[in-house]
Amino acid sequence: MLWLDGVNVPLLGFVDLVQPETMFCEMKTKAPRKTKVLKSGEQGWSKASLPKKPEHNHLCQAAIYQKALNVTPSICYIAEHDCQMFTPFNCDELKADSIADALEDIRQKALIRQNLLRVSNDPKVLASITDPDWKHAFQWRMEPEFLGKAKELWNQ
């Protein structure tokens, strides 16, 4: 559990692996993807690609855990064929300055949400003063029933 300055609710999370007082490792899996269907009707799988640097949302997650635990952060991306581990020793994004920037990014987003809830707790009112990012890569991956309700709320 971590409290951020000015944010009235704590952040909760669960670290994948921890070596107490030393390091934690957040593990992220990368799954293979289906290839295009061939004229023959066959379809195969492509190998999952591993990132060259940590993804921003994973960096933010690591920043929370680093602040809460005060140990060295690491993120390990795992695919069927290979893995890539990032630590502050091989990745600038996991060094103290970048971790601090990511944590401040999270704090700012939490403050915005907190301030929105001060305006109203009515979803219709909040929808009228916010603009959803419908093109976000992950935000709208949800059950069709809930996605339909969200689009209805924003009149899409």
Domain residue ranges in the chain: 1-119, 122-156
pTM of the full structure = 0.81
Residues 50-85 have pLDDT tens digits of 999 999 999 999 999 999 999 999 999 999 999 999
Q: What is the pLDDT of residue 42?
A: 85
Helix (H) or strand (E) holding 26: strand 23-29
At residue 26, the pLDDT reads 98
CA separation, residue 100 to residues 75, 123, 129, 137 (Å): 16, 32, 30, 24
Pairwise CA distance, residues 119 & 122, whole Å = 9
Residues in the chain where the model's pLDDT stays below 70: 156
**How do strand 33-34 and strand 23-29 relate by DSSP bridges?**
unpaired
**pLDDT for 106:** 96
What pLDDT score was predicted for residue 89? Answer: 97
Query: Could you identify the residue written with the tokens 């379809």?
Result: 43
Distance CA 97, CA 52 (A): 19
Adjacent-strand bridge partners of 75: 26, 86
Per-residue model confidence (pLDDT) at position 140: 83
CA dihedral of residues 130, 135, 137, 140 (deg, nearest 10): 60
**DSSP per residue, 48-107:** PPPPSS--HHHHHHHHHHHHHH-SB--EEEE-SS-EEEE-TTT-GGGSHHHHHHHHHHHH
Q: Which two tokens stand for residue 137?
A: 């890569």
Q: What is the predicted pLDDT for the residue at 44? A: 84
- What pLDDT sits at residue 1? 92
